[in-house]
Amino acid sequence: MWIYQKKLQYPVRVSQCNPRLAKYLIEQYGGADGELAAALRYLNQRYTIPDRIIGLLTDIGTEEFGHLEMIATMVYKLTKDATLEQLRDAGLGEHAADHGPALFYHNAAGVPFTATYIQAKGDPITDLYEDIAAEEKARATYQWLIDMSDDPDLNDALRFLREREVIHSQRFREAVEILKQEQQQKHFF
């Protein structure tokens, strides 16, 4: 179904080891408004969405997995040279004790990922409005992460991700308008 190229959607560079920033970035890895939740939400909603919109959800859901890969790369690069003491000081001691250097789907507070993050109502317009809200929440989170970071290299990739959230929100808004127009048309049998 996919052709995998061993490269990220956008280059991820990190200026220095920064476990505290990695802890914050984990929010976009396994948090309620993060990339995993978005990817699963959109790919799940495809089954109850009109055919005309399925491709949009497939494309954006798949792209969100690419964003998840970028976040994983950022967290890895920010922590790979960290000592256990630095991880503890950054609030990642519990994570290191349970998972070592591996990433794990949880939010910045350490709460594990849950399927309750994935919304689906079965009403196409309702689901698309949920998707718009999800993209806007992710956009806001990326802005807050940029504001907390002093790493210009990392901020470049975070800006890219923030802007992709804006584009996704716009595409979902367009899809809502398409569906509204179709609902207003007379149907002849």
Annotated domain spans of the chain: 19-99+117-183
The type of residue at 120 is A
7 φ/ψ angles, rounded to the nearest 5 degrees: -155, 155
What residues contact residue 153 under an 8 Å CB cut-off, 6+ apart? Answer: 13, 14, 15
| CA distance linking residue 89 with residue 115, whole number of Å | 30
* pLDDT given for residue 189 in this prediction: 67
Q: Where are the alpha helices (DSSP H) in 80-151?
A: 84-89, 93-99, 124-148
Give me the average pLDDT of each 10-residue run along the chain (189 residues): 84 96 97 97 95 94 97 97 95 94 94 94 96 98 97 98 98 96 76
Q: Could you tell me how far CA 135 lies from the centroid of its own chain? A: 8
∠ CA 161-165-57, nearest 5°, is: 120
CATH number of 19-99+117-183: 1.20.1260.10
